[in-house]
A and B are shown apart, each in its own frame.
Chain A
Amino acid sequence: MTSPLFETIGLTKAYPGVVANDDVSFAIRPGEIHALLGENGAGKSTLVKTIYGLVKPDAGEMLFKGTVYAPSEPRAARAAGVAMVFQHFSLFEALSVAENIALGMENPPKPRDLAARITEVSAQYGLPLDPDRLVGDLSAGERQRVEIIRCLLQDPKLLIMDEPTSVLTPQEVEILFHTLRKLRDEGTAILYISHKLDEIRALCDEATILRLGKVVATCTPREVSAAEMAELMVGKSLSRPARDAGAPGEVLLHVGGLSVTPASPFGTPLRHIGFEVRAGEVLGIGGVAGNGQDELLAALSGETRVPPRTILLSDTPVGAMGPNKRRALGLLCAPEERLGHAAAPDMTLTENAVLTARVRQQLDRHGFVDWGSTRDYAAKIIERFDVRTPGTEVAARALSGGNLQKFVIGREVLQNPKVLVVNQPTWGVDASAAAAIRQALLDLATGGAAVIVISQDLDELLEISDRFCALNEGRLSAPRPARGLSMEEVGLMLGGAHDMHEAQPEAAE
């Protein structure tokens, strides 16, 4: 038994109103992949930020190689040999790969030497990268490579990976795991943060499970079942959403030949997208973020205008209509970004309710908002969707991610849509709220609406969709029945490893 490389002893960090970490102690040995497991809000992020020197703990200490380790800033952590790959990439889109990597290093070599080093190390670990490309032009998987290479160039002793697979296709995950195992065999300790149990069982040697800021268990992932770990993580067993599958009805939404040029320089063009959804059906659209999801949602919601006949809602051409006209006809959308797109952060729940529900719920009279009935509508959403909030007059920003998401989805569902489009309905939402949202979507479909779910969470899509199709670089695959579809097949539909290969001579071009 080797002595630990890194240890935390009684780490505690409190924010106003919440204890993010409460007396957290765990240890990692050299050459070990250690999982940090927990729901959103369990305190994983605060803990790794503490280790990386971005947050100062209120109490407790850390030991690194047996000596006290208290980094005052990330620079000190990097100097000690701790490197981190972030959940939301800490990359600069308008800068090149080499510039991005240089920014994360203490003493970067000259640009030409650095480019050579990047090519060399990336080939060595099977992660080829071109140092001169702009990061904005890279796929999500390639961007993650940039972060990993940035860490590897500093020869870290402890590598922290915060939810690294959430943006990868199954094949890309395999490549990543291969790299991580190689690093482990070279003696690097890896702290692997995730809430995906299968990955942890496949990859990790030890696991520490956090719930509400406390360590509730440690285990060896290979020896316990995923269900056991899930129960430890959530604190209760979860019911899977269910519904009675009925025969699909008439076609409610028909999309054909939809092509869109993106408005932003790093957007993805949509190319000849076509599909139809029937009443009572859930269509799942999978794909890694940045493959045209936002553009597709904008085209369906009416934020982007397209030729009228490319989108038909019950045979009415709606392509050239704006969002309010589409809402009036029954086509509703809930976009991905909760704060800023689906909801106005600084406005109250009542005010947010009027923003999309005005037309269908008749919340205004002669252009004046009827605040009474709007408040009633907001209260109805809160009650029916179990939104935990002190009241309707609370700013949207003040709600937790899961609660706001329930509100945003509920606001659309209760308007009784004919077609509902949701993008990432359960992103960053805790497991019980996610289950409630999925159930609401299924109930809506059972009631005769057509539901389109755009998501990166493939498990979610396979669970609730009737048919599944994949969005890859702005192209939509032909839909296939979701039942019986294997992860492998789904991965191939998603474009496989996105032109990413493990290093081969011809792949290094």
Chain B
Amino acid sequence: MIVDPISLMVALIVVSTPLLLAAIGELVVEKSGVLNLGVEGMMIIGAVTGYIAAVETGSVTLAFVAGMIGGLLLSSIFAVLTQLLLSNQVATGLALTLFGLGLSALLGVGYGGTPMPPVRDIFPQVMQDIPVIGPILFGHSAMIYLAVLLVAAVWYVLTHTRAGLVLRAVGESHEAAHALGYKVIRIRMLAILFGGACAGLSGAFLSVARVQNWIDGMTAGAGWIALALVVFASWKPWRLLIGAYLFGGIAALQLRLQAAEIGVPVALLDASPYLITILVLAVISSDKSRLAMNAPAALGKVFHASS
């Protein structure tokens, strides 16, 4: 056997966690009716601020907090531009990604390759030594469990609380929500900031926990895959978890296939997660009415209070 299934499972969970964190944030943003294409930019800012904080303070927790703040600050630019100044969401989101990539390169100058504090696993070694399920279920750092808990929390809030209902209502029809007296702009800004913090945390996880290094452009399109995941999951949190594991699995598998030197060009294997993304989106989008059924009806539309 060229690929060890247990180590593949472990890698899959680690690889998919940043996707999951960024995508769950974007899901909340899109549920409020806003399309933020700046996920990639917010992720990489989170990665660099998290890494810098880890190097300077030696604390992994502070590093994650710094990553969240970095992503949140960048998303606040998007929030002000699109919600208060009514700029186009698509163009602003793309600009945010470009800006984030450039700014992160600048901030990260001189930081690459600095030694890092280790990220500890939370379960004792005894539990990790259980065959098969030990490494898969218990062999991870706290952030991986937190990511799954976050998905559960978002699901619960969206479907079972009034705050979630109001958020969904705003994303469904901002005019109707406004007529009922809900603060559309405020709710959307908060959703955008939440999405920014999630993307930042996702970036920090990538640089601090997974790669343990800072490399320019290290997100390498993960933000875009996270965006695709939201559509793949048809805006449902639990499907997001499945989707993230699926994409993470492909990414982890292709690395192992490369290492096993099977007769497929490396470039093709490298591109496989992106090819699969395009393929899956094409298949999902082919059933128009099903997609429209789940998509927030006001997604990407500019809300002008006086109209």
Q: Is the CB of A102 within 8 A of B181?
A: no
A263 at the interface (CB under 8 A from B): yes
Q: Is the CB of B288 within 8 A of A263?
A: yes
A94 and B179 in contact (CB under 8 A), knowing A264-B292, A265-B289? Answer: no
Q: Is the CB of A90 within 8 A of B181?
A: no
A95 at the interface (CB under 8 A from B): yes
Q: Is the CB of B175 within 8 A of A90?
A: yes
Query: B181: nearest residue on chain A (CB-CB)?
Result: A74
A108 at the interface (CB under 8 A from B): yes
B146 at the interface (CB under 8 A from A): no
A371 at the interface (CB under 8 A from B): no
Q: Size of chain A's interface in residues, with CB distance under 8 A?
A: 22
Q: Is the CB of A103 within 8 A of B297?
A: no
A75 and B181 in contact (CB under 8 A), knowing A90-B176, A102-B162? Answer: yes
A90 and B172 in contact (CB under 8 A), knowing A102-B165, A263-B288? Answer: no
A90 and B292 in contact (CB under 8 A), knowing A95-B169, A99-B165, A102-B165? Answer: no
Cβ contacts under 8 Å, A86 to chain B: 179
A263 and B289 in contact (CB under 8 A), knowing A94-B297, A95-B169, A99-B165? Answer: yes
Least Cβ–Cβ distance between A256 and chain B, in angstroms:
27
Q: Mark B105-146, 1 if CB is under 8 A from A, else 0.
A: 000000000000000000000000000000000000000000
A75 to B166, CA, bound (A): 14
A104 at the interface (CB under 8 A from B): yes
A264 and B289 in contact (CB under 8 A), knowing A74-B179, A74-B181? Answer: yes
A91 and B289 in contact (CB under 8 A), knowing A53-B181, A99-B165, A103-B165? Answer: no
Q: Is the CB of B169 within 8 A of A103?
A: yes
A91 to B297, CA, bound (A): 12
**Which residues of B from 171 to 225 have beta carbons under 8 Å from A?**
172-173, 175-177, 179-182
Query: A94: nearest residue on chain B (CB-CB)?
Result: B172
Q: Pick the contact of A92 from B162, B169, B289, B293 — CB < 8 Å? A: B169
Q: Is the CB of B173 within 8 A of A92?
A: yes
B236 at the interface (CB under 8 A from A): no
A91 to B292, CA, bound (A): 17
Query: B295: nearest residue on chain A (CB-CB)?
Result: A94
Q: Pick the contact of B176 from A73, A75, A92 — CB < 8 Å? A: A92
**Which residues of A from 67 to 92 have beta carbons under 8 Å from B?**
73-75, 78, 86, 89-92
Q: Mark B287-302, 1 if CB is under 8 A from A, else 0.
A: 0111011000100000
Cβ contacts under 8 Å, A102 to chain B: 162, 165
Least Cβ–Cβ distance between A455 and chain B, in angstroms:
25
**Which residues of B from 144 to 176 have beta carbons under 8 Å from A?**
162, 165-166, 168-169, 172-173, 175-176
Q: Mark A248-285, 1 if CB is under 8 A from B, else 0.
A: 00000000000000011100000000000000000000
Q: Is the CB of B172 within 8 A of A95?
A: yes
A289 at the interface (CB under 8 A from B): no
A93 at the interface (CB under 8 A from B): yes
A226 at the interface (CB under 8 A from B): no
Cβ contacts under 8 Å, B176 to chain A: 89-92
Most B CB contacts (10 A, CB to CB) among A54, A263, A265 go to: A265
Q: Is the CB of A265 within 8 A of B293?
A: yes
Cβ contacts under 8 Å, B162 to chain A: 102, 108
**Which residues of B from 262 to 288 have beta carbons under 8 Å from A?**
288
Cβ contacts under 8 Å, A92 to chain B: 168-169, 172-173, 176-177
Query: A261: nearest residue on chain B (CB-CB)?
Result: B289
A53 to B181, CA, bound (A): 9
Query: B160: nearest residue on chain A (CB-CB)?
Result: A111
Q: Is the CB of B180 within 8 A of A93?
A: no
Most B CB contacts (10 A, CB to CB) among A92, A93, A95 go to: A92
A388 to B173, CA, bound (A): 33
Q: Mark A96-118, 1 if CB is under 8 A from B, else 0.
A: 00010011100010000000000
Cβ contacts under 8 Å, A90 to chain B: 173, 175-176, 179-180
A361 to B181, CA, bound (A): 49
Query: A89: nearest residue on chain B (CB-CB)?
Result: B176
Query: A84: nearest residue on chain B (CB-CB)?
Result: B179
Cβ contacts under 8 Å, B173 to chain A: 90-93
Q: Pick the contact of A103 from B180, B288, B289, B290 — CB < 8 Å? A: B180
Most B CB contacts (10 A, CB to CB) among A74, A93, A95, A103 go to: A103
A30 to B166, CA, bound (A): 33
Q: Mark B36-57, 1 if CB is under 8 A from A, else 0.
A: 0000000000000000000000
A92 to B292, CA, bound (A): 14
Most B CB contacts (10 A, CB to CB) among A75, A89, A95 go to: A95
Cβ contacts under 8 Å, A94 to chain B: 168, 172, 293, 297
Query: A72: nearest residue on chain B (CB-CB)?
Result: B181
A94 to B31, CA, bound (A): 12
Cβ contacts under 8 Å, B181 to chain A: 53, 73-75, 78
Least Cβ–Cβ distance between B14 and chain A, in angstroms:
36
Q: Mark B82-111, 1 if CB is under 8 A from A, else 0.
A: 000000000000000000000000000000
A283 to B184, CA, bound (A): 44
A278 to B181, CA, bound (A): 51
Cβ contacts under 8 Å, B168 to chain A: 92, 94-95
A40 to B166, CA, bound (A): 32
**Which residues of B from 236 to 253 have beta carbons under 8 Å from A?**
none
Cβ contacts under 8 Å, A91 to chain B: 173, 176
Beyond A92-B177, A95-B165, A264-B289: 19 further Cβ-contacts under 8 Å? Answer: A53-B181, A54-B179, A73-B181, A74-B180, A75-B181, A78-B181, A86-B179, A90-B173, A90-B176, A91-B176, A92-B169, A92-B172, A92-B176, A93-B297, A94-B172, A94-B293, A94-B297, A263-B289, A265-B292
A-B contact pairs, 29 of them (CB 8 A): A73-B181, A74-B179, A74-B181, A75-B181, A78-B181, A86-B179, A89-B176, A90-B179, A90-B180, A91-B173, A91-B176, A92-B168, A92-B169, A92-B173, A92-B176, A92-B177, A94-B297, A95-B165, A95-B169, A95-B172, A99-B165, A102-B162, A103-B180, A103-B182, A104-B180, A108-B162, A264-B289, A264-B292, A265-B289
* Complex A-B, nearest 8 residue pairs according to Cβ-Cβ distance, in ascending order: A74-B181, A90-B176, A90-B179, A92-B172, A75-B181, A265-B289, A265-B293, A73-B181
